[in-house]
Each structure stands twice: as C-alpha cells, then as structure tokens.
Amino acid sequence: MSNERPLDAPCDCDDASQTPNSRAPADVARRRFLQSAAAAAALGAAPHLRAQNAPGAQTPAPAPAPAQPVRLDINGREYVLHIEPRVTLLDALRDYAGLTGTKKGCDRGQCGACTVLVEGRRINSCLTLAVMHEGERITTVEGLAGAAALSPVQRAFIERDAFQCGFCTPGQLCSATACLSEFRTGAASAATPDVRTRPAQLSDAEIRERMSGNLCRCGAYVNIVAAVRDAHAASA
Ligand code: FES
Ligand code: FES
C-alpha cells in the first residue's frame, strides 16, 4: 500500500504511531526545513554563537585521532610506525621511518619530488595517507639499487649528468623506473598516436609526456630525457 498522503490531508507529523521511516518524504523534508529555520532563529538570537560563526572567527580545531601502530613494507623491510591516521605517506617515510631520500617539494601534488612506488606504480606520497598502504609493497629511492649495483636508471642518470641540485632526482628516478615498466607493459600515454595500440617505440615525446609529472627547477630536462632513453635501451 502506498504511504503517500494527499496534499490536502491534515498533517500527521506529530503522530507518535508513525516511525521516522514510515513518514512520507514530503513530511520528512518539511520537518527538516522547520528544524533548520528554528536553528537559524536561535543563532540570530544568540550573539555569542553569531560571533563564533562570523567570517574570520577562529573555530576550535577538532582533536586529532590518537596515534596507532601502522605496519608498512618499505624497500622489503617491515616498519611499525606509531602515527596518527592523518599522517601522509611522505611524512611517514621522512619523519617516522627516517627515509629522507624522498623529498617534499610542494606537498600538494604538483611537483613530483615525493614520487615513490607502491606495488610498482608511481604515486605522489604527499597526496596519500600512510595508513592506506598497510600490506602494500612500497619502494623509495633508497630501495631502487640492488645489493651490489645501482639500477639501470640510476646508472643512466649519473652517466648523463641528469641533475644539478639533485632535489628532484629521487622522484625522477622512481618515476623513470615506473615509466619504463609502464611502457614495457604496453600502457599508452597522451603522446601515443593511437592509444588502442601498443606504442611502437619510446620516443623522446613519449618520455617527456610520461615524465611530465616530475618538475625540475634546475631545468635538467634534456639530460633527464636522455638518461631515460639510455636506461630503456640498456634494459631492452
Ligand atoms: S611534494 Fe608531492 S607532488 Fe610535490
Ligand atoms: S636537479 Fe635541481 S630541481 Fe632538478
């Protein structure tokens, strides 16, 4: 049976026999409107509440959630970090795990200096929370090299002198490592002429597009592209 009430029927919103779930949507909407109007009127009548809500007024910050143990697999080693849930992966790496190779540039997803690999995929660690990555394999610049040798990407960056101050380099190295594996698995980029087919070769245009999330304030782009090209050739 329909629970809709004719528009001209008397209001039954105070009928105690009606549960909130059995009330018609129009009644619920009207009740919410009346509650909001009453709240607004109360606010207008209370100067201290008005002052609290005035533009620029300081509202007390919510209390932070307590620190909790978070298990992270970083570079093949387990770290148990006691951190608040709001801590970013970048801050967890640098300030709690002591892995300062990963750099903080903008802290807002614009520069790529904080790039790390999670399950082999590159992400900006400043844009994600550490607690979201429990049980995942995290690789930072400290974990790119093997036990006895640098990775092909690291070697190519050195041979091509693909840095000046080096601040962006950890992010560039992680990004280039993932960029090459993305290309090998056939992932297209915005520079791929036909995204339905596997890109034929890793052209400089492909490298520039795929590495475009990593900024270099020193402008070492020409050598960075050359290094990625060399690393690709060495691992082909
Ligand atoms: S520090 Fe994360 S993108 Fe800039
Ligand atoms: S080498 Fe200095 S920012 Fe890239």
pLDDT at site 63: 85
- The per-residue b/e assignment along 168-200, b for 16 or more CB within 10 angstroms, e otherwise, is bbbbbbbbbbbbbebbeeeebbebbeeeeeebe
Centroid of chain to Cα 138: 14
pLDDT at site 24: 57
The CA 133 to ligand 1 mean position distance, Å, reads 18
Atom of ligand 2 nearest to the CA of 218: 2
Atom of ligand 2 nearest to the CA of 172: 4
Angle between helices 221-235 and 169-184 (to 10 degrees): 40
Angle at the Cα of 215 from the Cα atoms of 217 and 92, rounded to 5 degrees: 105
Per this entry, what is the length of the chain?
236
pLDDT at site 198: 81
Atom of ligand 1 nearest to the CA of 112: 3
The CA 86 to ligand 1 mean position distance, Å, reads 17
pLDDT at site 14: 44
pLDDT at site 200: 82
- 110, 66 Cβ separation under 8 angstroms: no
| Tens-level pLDDT at each residue, the chain (236 residues) | 444 444 444 444 444 444 444 455 566 566 666 666 555 554 444 444 455 556 677 788 888 889 999 999 999 999 999 999 999 999 999 999 999 999 999 999 999 999 999 999 999 999 999 999 999 999 999 999 988 899 999 999 999 999 999 999 999 999 999 999 999 998 989 899 888 888 888 999 999 999 999 999 999 999 999 999 999 999 87
How far apart are alpha carbons 221 and 208 in whole angstroms?
Answer: 8
CB atoms within 10 A of CB 104: 18
Mutate to test the pocket of ligand 1, among 89, 93, 102, 126 (most ligand atoms within 8 A of CB): 126
How far apart are alpha carbons 153 and 115 in whole angstroms?
Answer: 15
* 213 Cβ inside 6 Å of ligand 1: no
The CA 98 to ligand 2 mean position distance, Å, reads 22
pLDDT at site 29: 62
pTM passes above 0.95:
no
Mutate to test the pocket of ligand 2, among 103, 214, 218 (most ligand atoms within 8 A of CB): 218
How far apart are alpha carbons 67 and 70 in whole angstroms?
Answer: 9
CB atoms within 10 A of CB 61: 6
pLDDT at site 61: 83
- 163, 169 Cβ separation under 8 angstroms: yes
Q: Is 38 helix (H, G, I), strand (E, B) or coil?
A: helix
Which domains can be identified in the chain, with CATH numbers? 68-143 (3.10.20.30), 152-235 (1.10.150.120)
- The per-residue b/e assignment along 129-150, b for 16 or more CB within 10 angstroms, e otherwise, is bbbebeeeebbbbbbbeeeeee
- Name the token pair of 76: 């093949």
Angle at the Cα of 81 from the Cα atoms of 80 and 84, rounded to 5 degrees: 140
Mutate to test the pocket of ligand 2, among 110, 160, 164, 214 (most ligand atoms within 8 A of CB): 164
